[in-house]
Amino acid sequence: MKHLAIIMDGNGRWAQAQGLPRLSGHKSATKVITEIIDAADEVKVEILSLYAFSLDNFKRDVSEVYGILGIINDYIETELIPLVRTRGYRIMFIGELSRLPQELLITISKAYQIGVNNKGMQIVIAIAYSGREELIKAFNLLLEEKINNGDYTPINKTELSNRLYTATIPDPDVIVRYGGCKRLSDFLTFQSVYSELFFFEKKFPDANREDIFKINEQFLRIKRNFGDIRQ
């Protein structure tokens, strides 16, 4: 399993079920993320993608939006950056980053710069991300390039893929969603066409390292043909 992607869903509902404020669930989720990173590294995942905050999440109450973004900022600063330093991880952020608060952008830049020359596992954090918007942005970029170059040939899959945020990394082998919903919710829309999908009923704050080990074991037993017929 080269690339594992995780939709970290159910944080707010987890907190509400316990009579706690929704932000308490997001804080609890950050305690799980490092455990998931540890497990992914242990099973030799090369790329771990985490869906932290969608573009549609900006529709929520402003206090919750900036509360979540503040929690993300604190996690990157206090937990993720030390891991980048000590373990040699590389960090990549994808999404409409211009929508983020300046403080978070500074922290993101710091994390990226610290790990830019590292050789360890790559951690991709999708924040203010939308798979559809990514496709639209890539298509318009490619269309503009073609028009400027007088190239009127049809757009092909490779050209479009090379304009996505994830152009430098392979598509996910596995996408895992916590929280009981069986949908991808605008996550890696183009890249997920051949991903194996796993769904957990439990909310993300109840996730643990054993989940990653079980998924890895199941994935290793899957025969992936990518539309072909193989013996």
Distance from C-alpha of 37 to C-alpha of 229, rounded to nearest angstrom: 34
User: CB-side exposure of 73: number of CA atoms within 13 Å?
Assistant: 14
pLDDT for res 177:
98
CB-based contact 188:172 (threshold 8 Å): yes
Neighbours of 9 (CB within 10 A): 23
Based on C-alpha coordinates, what's the Rg of the chain? Answer: 18
Residues 6+ apart with CB under 8 A from 206: 14, 32, 178
What pLDDT sits at residue 225?
Answer: 66
Catalytic annotation, pick one of 57, 74, 118, 186: 57
How far does Cα 53 stand from its chain's mean position?
A: 9
140 is catalytic: no
Q: What is the pLDDT of residue 230?
A: 59
Q: Half-sphere exposure of residue 152, counting CA atoms within 13 Å on the CB side?
A: 1
At 223, is the pLDDT very low, low, confident or very high (cuts 50, 70, 90)?
confident
Domain locations along the chain: 3-130+171-220
For the chain, the average pLDDT equals: 95
Pair of tokens at residue 103: 């403080």
Euclidean distance between CA atoms 77 and 71, whole angstroms: 10
208 noted as active-site residue: no
Question: Is residue 215 pLDDT above 60, yes or no?
Answer: yes
Q: Could you tell me how far CA 68 lies from the centroid of its own chain?
A: 16
Q: What is the mean pLDDT of residues 2-22?
A: 95
**pTM for the model:** 0.93
Q: What is the CATH number of domain 3-130+171-220?
A: 3.40.1180.10
